Structures are given as C-alpha cells and as structure tokens.
C-alpha cells in the first residue's frame, strides 16, 4: 500500500496491489489473480481495480460501495459485495452480469486498511470539494 503525491499538483493516489481468488467457473479450484486498486484524490468517488490476467480487466467501483461491502451485503446488478459470513477475514465481490459474472474473494482486513488510507486523502463527505468540475463547466458552456 502506498500513497503517491503528484509533482506540481494537489492530487495524490493511494495504490494497493494484492491477490484475489477467482471462484467461477471453477469453485473447487480458485485461480489466484493479481489485482491493483488505485484511488485518486481528484476522482474521489471511484476506485479503479485492474485485474492482471492474460489481458488486464478494469473495473471502476464506488469507494462507498467497497467500504459498505466490508460490513454487509451491498450492490446490485453488475457489482455486489459482502463480507464472508464464515471467514470474517474475507470479502466477496461478484462482478458482471449473471450468468457470466466473476466471483472473487479478497482479504477484508487489508481492504479496510487501504480504504482508511484513502480516507486520509479525501475524508468521507468532502468528495465534492476534491472533484475537478472543469470538464462539466466546459461542456455546459459549449451548449
């Protein structure tokens, strides 16, 4: 886990490289998949997860959804997360539409620790103050 300041800018990133276990399509023989989570203070609502497979697979997840998934079942449709009811140290993520979804597990304790780092960069409730609204202002001005 690391925090990276960007030279000449107020933006800082928090990065966490770990391994997920992928249980579908082979629940009895999970695959170990390297994954990198990146949080950027100038995009404070999102977390980018890059699953390093034969071809990188990128998912953009809500930081609030990940945090809530450490405590209870959350999400719908293509992204659902929940803590493991038997092994409290694991967190489950279901990504993608049924029946073609991926079922992954992560270390819940490490995820919580990494989310705490993101909260030092952008405290909950202050996300709007850190967003760059310039592209939206330009789009509206062009109308």
Tens-digit pLDDT profile for residues 19-37: 999 987 677 888 999 999 9
Nearest alpha-carbon partner for 39 in 61, 69, 65, 18 = 61
Task: List own/partner pairs for 115-124 with CB under 8 A and 24 or more apart.
Answer: 115/63, 115/66, 115/67, 115/70, 117/1, 117/3, 117/14, 117/39, 118/14, 118/39, 118/47, 118/63, 120/3, 121/3, 121/12, 121/14, 121/39, 121/41, 121/44, 122/41, 122/44, 124/64
Residue 64 confidence class, pLDDT cut points 50, 70, 90: very high
pLDDT of 3 over the 90 cut = no
Domains of the chain: 2-141 (2.30.31.20)
Average pLDDT over every residue of 104-124: 96
């Amino acid at each position: 886990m690391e925090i990276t300041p960007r030279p000449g800018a107020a933006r800082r990133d928090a990065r966490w490289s770990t391994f997920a276990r992928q249980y579908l399509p082979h629940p009895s023989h999970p695959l170990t998949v390297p994954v990198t989570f990146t949080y950027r203070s100038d995009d404070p609502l999102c977390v980018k997860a890059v699953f390093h497979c034969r071809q990188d697979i990128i998912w953009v997840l809500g930081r609030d959804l990940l945090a809530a998934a450490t405590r209870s079942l959350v999400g719908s449709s293509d992204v659902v997360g929940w803590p493991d009811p038997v092994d409290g140290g694991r967190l489950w993520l279901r990504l993608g539409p049924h029946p073609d979804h991926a079922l992954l597990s992560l270390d819940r304790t490490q995820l919580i620790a990494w989310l705490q780092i993101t909260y030092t960069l952008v405290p909950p409730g202050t996300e709007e103050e850190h967003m760059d609204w310039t592209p939206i202002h330009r789009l509206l001005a062009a109308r």
